[in-house]
A and B are shown apart, each in its own frame.
Chain A
Amino acid sequence: MTTGPAVVTGADGALGRAIAIELCAMGRRVVGLGRRQPDLDATAARAGELFLGIACDIADPAETRHAFSELRRQVGPAEILITSPVEAPRRDILDETAESFTATVVAQLGGVMACTHEALVDMVERGEGRIMHIGSLADLDPVPASSALAVATGAVRIFSRTVVADLASRFPRIVVNHWVPGDPTPRIDGSEGMDAAQMARWGAKLALMRDPSLTGSLWNGHREMVRQVPLRRRIVLRLLGRQRIGRVIT
């Protein structure tokens, strides 16, 4: 394995910060991206010397490109990319405007796309890498006043699958998966309770796993979610002892 950094987006927020701290504690070099310099500094203060914060609004493609060229120059190309969900205001659909809605979707989906694309530029050169998109299942049963965020996070999960469709057969050693922290729906409110720390540990561990069979997998908390198969097929697989059992992070 090479020794490039892990790039964590949203390192100025609670989840991104917790994962960055966790990875640094495991001895990994981490580059944290985030809009708010003071919050990045707060992450740096807790993560230690292995952490490098770069202020960057990933919703702006030019800023993202600049941040990645900066981190390439300072600590080498990304070996791992972890994208975090953005924090977006809860808003009644009747209070949204097309502009405010689009801005949220661009900040979330566009930001994930921009970072993934920048990381892939280096990963396809090496033929290996690790990408973990963090999302939620908020799109499956949306709570009120979450239209833009639910759409954007659902879209990120679709985006993960499209990346897999394009890359998996060509670059089996670029491992791409999707992680939903917590069950059923995360409420990471910035408080540093036990749950947030536990989730960050799971997320960090998952991001360090490099087994190509992880590509395309969806994880909820510490459990892999296995795709449902039709009953008849399930019976046959059971008879043959080949039913898929979801993996677990211990």
Chain B
Amino acid sequence: MSGGILDHRFDAIVVGAGMGGGVLGRTLTERGLSVLFLEKGRSGWRREETGLDLTSEDPVARLMFGAWPDPIEIDDGGGPRSMYAPLGCGVGGSSVFFAATLERPERHDLDDGWPVSYEEMGPWYDQAERILHVRGEPDPLSDVPCPNLQAAPPSTAADAAIMGQLRRNGQHPYRLHVALRYVPGCAECLGRKCPRTCKMDGRSAGVEPALATGRAALLEECEVLRLVGGPTRISAVEVLHGGEVRRLTAPRIILAAGALSTPRLLIASASEAWPQGCGNGGDLVGRNLMVHLNEMFAVWPRRGDATGAEGPSRAVALRDLMIRDGHRLGMVQSLGVDAREPEILHAFRQRMSRHALGRTRLAREWARVPAKAASRVLGTAKLFVGLLEDHPDPANRIVVDPGRPGQIICRYHIPEELQARRRLFRRGIRQAFRNLHPLFLNHAAEPNWGHSCGTARMGRDPATSVVDPTCRVHGLENLWIADTSVFPTSMGVNPSLTLAANALRVGSIIAGKAS
């Protein structure tokens, strides 16, 4: 089978079969081009319901379960430390595990800093909302029509109670935009693989429809090592597949390996033609790494308003805190999980682990007692998260260790400016959620590595950007990037809808040039 794939000539190679690569590949095949997806992970079985495993440290098991096999290394100035990021590795990438939140950014999110205006992106957002079956309510603070937004199913009593209280607090909550089709038997697979074609992600709305056209093929367990080429063109993609290093060629190459890996591949492609790495003449590849900072908190609707028996609050969104006193903050949304004893326990343990004594096994066991007490007294809490926008900083970056080119290494520090905005954001959240007893579950800044972006930024000027407004790498005629690496700003909303809309846009540009 794979021998056949490797002998076939494709119009385009897409590196990475996640949300960006999947949606872009689908667009190309629907416009008549043939596409080869290269995926480091496996496709797995369609009926899997795996959650994203952050605890297993066995790389073989992690790959089998669709998680990125290795820990990522992060140096915030205090020396490198390793952690497992919420990254998928398999068909659909991280998106098969995502909570299906697909939110539009605000007009100013793009118009301040992106080379593509909100106006230009509008039709692509519309199209993305259509193919991803997005459901929810229009944001009451926005004047942008969303013609393809479908109605959400009725609110749970808990959601209705929380939204009612927020309105009484003068806020403007609405039903979060989620990519769930609610087919019969829908179990709302937020945070885990969906066994039906119900949650719309890079697999169900990207790779699968692309394969269904008959013009696409998928090479799984295929690790891209580097790009090969001359000053103006990529001639081949060097891959490791089945224990063999080989070169695959196509007239068009699209990188969609994610903001942590795309720059790594570009830098690891350093050669005589590209001494600092492919597309890296301006030393910008890997720089301006951004994440969102998660401000996690629990709220307790008044007893009687919501019993909690009918499941977690999953669909409340709030954009009243996008900009405060001229500072960019971000949106607030429910996480779709209840804070029962284990979550509260985790929060207690996190707080305790800041002290040496709290890290002992005995202390960890005894933390169960206050956690139990808290959940008894307060009942079932609903978990929320505020997504705080991060600003580009050239010092925050992906670096490559030539001895370990496959290792994701981030240098990422949180500047005082961001800490100040955190304080403002948390104050705003406390105020907006008053009478709902908001309790913050993280004290230290918590970067959301699932929302990383910015490491191959888009711009008109090759001196300050890696790709042009069509997401083609400056100076290279056949290399495009279609993941969140190209985001010039991190925006105050979840990245997936913009990622998909941009992939549709770039796919249509590539297909248009081809015909």
Bound together, the chains give a CA A126 to CA B369 distance in angstroms of 41
Stretch binding the partner chain, chosen from B48-56, B130-138, B259-267, B477-485: B48-56
Q: Is B365 an interface residue (CB 8 A)?
A: yes
Q: Is B423 an interface residue (CB 8 A)?
A: no
Q: Is A240 an interface residue (CB 8 A)?
A: yes
User: Given A232-B365, A233-B365, A240-B369, are A171 and B53 neighbors across the interface (CB < 8 Å)?
Assistant: no
Q: Is B372 an interface residue (CB 8 A)?
A: yes
Q: Is the CB of B372 within 8 A of A169?
A: no
User: Given A232-B365, A233-B365, are A127 and B65 neighbors across the interface (CB < 8 Å)?
Assistant: no
Q: Is A110 an interface residue (CB 8 A)?
A: no
Q: Is B47 an interface residue (CB 8 A)?
A: yes
Q: Is the CB of B372 within 8 A of A240?
A: yes
B-facing residues in A216-246 (Cβ within 8 Å): 232-233, 236, 239-240
Contacts of B49 in A (CB 8 A): 127, 170-173
Of A124, A166, A169, which contacts B51 at CB under 8 A?
A169
Q: Is A141 an interface residue (CB 8 A)?
A: no
Contacts of B44 in A (CB 8 A): 170
A-facing residues in B2-49 (Cβ within 8 Å): 44-45, 47-49
Bound together, the chains give a CA A170 to CA B90 distance in angstroms of 14
Q: Is the CB of A236 within 8 A of B366?
A: yes
Q: Is A99 an interface residue (CB 8 A)?
A: no
Interface centre among A124, A126, A166, A170 (most CB of B within 10 A): A170
B-facing residues in A107-125 (Cβ within 8 Å): 124-125
Q: How far is the CB of A237 from chain B (nearest CB, A)?
A: 9
Q: How far is the CB of B130 from chain A (nearest CB, A)?
A: 28
Contacts of B365 in A (CB 8 A): 232-233, 236
Q: Is the CB of A236 within 8 A of B47?
A: no
Q: Is the CB of A170 within 8 A of B50?
A: yes
Q: Is the CB of B369 within 8 A of A170?
A: no
Q: Is B460 an interface residue (CB 8 A)?
A: no
Contacts of B362 in A (CB 8 A): 232
Bound together, the chains give a CA A239 to CA B53 distance in angstroms of 30
Closest partner residue, chain B, to A166 (CB atom): B64
Q: How far is the CB of A119 from chain B (nearest CB, A)?
A: 15
Contacts of A125 in B (CB 8 A): 45, 47
B-facing residues in A20-73 (Cβ within 8 Å): none
Bound together, the chains give a CA A233 to CA B65 distance in angstroms of 30
Bound together, the chains give a CA A87 to CA B295 distance in angstroms of 61
Contacts of A171 in B (CB 8 A): 45, 47-49
Bound together, the chains give a CA A125 to CA B195 distance in angstroms of 10
Bound together, the chains give a CA A222 to CA B369 distance in angstroms of 34
Closest partner residue, chain B, to A123 (CB atom): B47
Instruction: Digitize B346-368: 1 where CB-to-A-CB distance is under 8 Å, 0 elsewhere.
Output: 00000000000000001001101
Contacts of B64 in A (CB 8 A): 166
Q: Is the CB of B65 within 8 A of A169?
A: yes
Bound together, the chains give a CA A232 to CA B44 distance in angstroms of 41
Q: Is the CB of B366 within 8 A of A127?
A: no
Bound together, the chains give a CA A228 to CA B186 distance in angstroms of 37
Of A127, A166, A236, which contacts B195 at CB under 8 A?
A127
User: Given A125-B47, A126-B47, A127-B47, are A170 and B366 neighbors across the interface (CB < 8 Å)?
Assistant: no
Q: Is the CB of A239 within 8 A of B51?
A: no
Contacts of B193 in A (CB 8 A): 170
Q: Is the CB of B53 within 8 A of A169?
A: yes
Bound together, the chains give a CA A169 to CA B67 distance in angstroms of 12
Contacts of A236 in B (CB 8 A): 365-366, 368
Q: Is the CB of A124 within 8 A of B47?
A: yes
Q: Is the CB of B50 within 8 A of A169?
A: yes
Q: How far is the CB of A244 from chain B (nearest CB, A)?
A: 15
User: Given A124-B47, A127-B47, A127-B49, are A170 and B65 neighbors across the interface (CB < 8 Å)?
Assistant: yes
Contacts of A166 in B (CB 8 A): 64
Closest partner residue, chain A, to B53 (CB atom): A169
User: Given A127-B195, A169-B53, are A239 and B369 neighbors across the interface (CB < 8 Å)?
Assistant: yes
Contacts of A170 in B (CB 8 A): 44-45, 48-50, 65, 193
Q: How far is the CB of B344 from chain A (nearest CB, A)?
A: 13
Q: How far is the CB of B501 from chain A (nearest CB, A)?
A: 31
Interface centre among B47, B50, B195, B362 (most CB of A within 10 A): B47
Contacts of A232 in B (CB 8 A): 362, 365
Bound together, the chains give a CA A189 to CA B211 distance in angstroms of 57
Contacts of B50 in A (CB 8 A): 169-170
B-facing residues in A150-184 (Cβ within 8 Å): 166, 169-173
Q: Is the CB of A240 within 8 A of B45?
A: no
Q: Is the CB of A124 within 8 A of B368?
A: no
Q: How far is the CB of A142 from chain B (nearest CB, A)?
A: 32
Bound together, the chains give a CA A170 to CA B194 distance in angstroms of 11
Bound together, the chains give a CA A170 to CA B365 distance in angstroms of 29
Q: How far is the CB of A206 from chain B (nearest CB, A)?
A: 23
Bound together, the chains give a CA A171 to CA B49 distance in angstroms of 6
Contacts of A169 in B (CB 8 A): 50-51, 53, 65
Contacts of B366 in A (CB 8 A): 236
Closest partner residue, chain B, to A167 (CB atom): B48
Contacts of B53 in A (CB 8 A): 169
Bound together, the chains give a CA A126 to CA B47 distance in angstroms of 7
Contacts A124-B47, A169-B65, A233-B365 aside, 18 further interface pairs with beta carbons under 8 A come to: A125-B45, A127-B47, A127-B48, A127-B195, A166-B64, A169-B50, A169-B51, A170-B48, A170-B49, A170-B50, A170-B65, A171-B47, A172-B49, A232-B365, A236-B366, A240-B368, A240-B369, A240-B372
| Chain A residues in the interface with B (C-beta under 8 A) | 124-127, 166, 169-173, 232-233, 236, 239-240
Q: Show 25 A/B contacts (Cβ-Cβ < 8 Å), sorted by A.
A: A124-B45, A124-B47, A125-B45, A125-B47, A126-B47, A127-B47, A127-B48, A127-B49, A166-B64, A169-B50, A169-B51, A169-B53, A169-B65, A170-B44, A170-B49, A170-B50, A170-B65, A171-B45, A171-B48, A171-B49, A232-B362, A239-B369, A240-B368, A240-B369, A240-B372
The list of the 3 closest CB pairs from A to B, nearest first, reads: A127-B47, A170-B48, A170-B50
| Chain B residues in the interface with A (C-beta under 8 A) | 44-45, 47-51, 53, 64-65, 193, 195, 362, 365-366, 368-369, 372
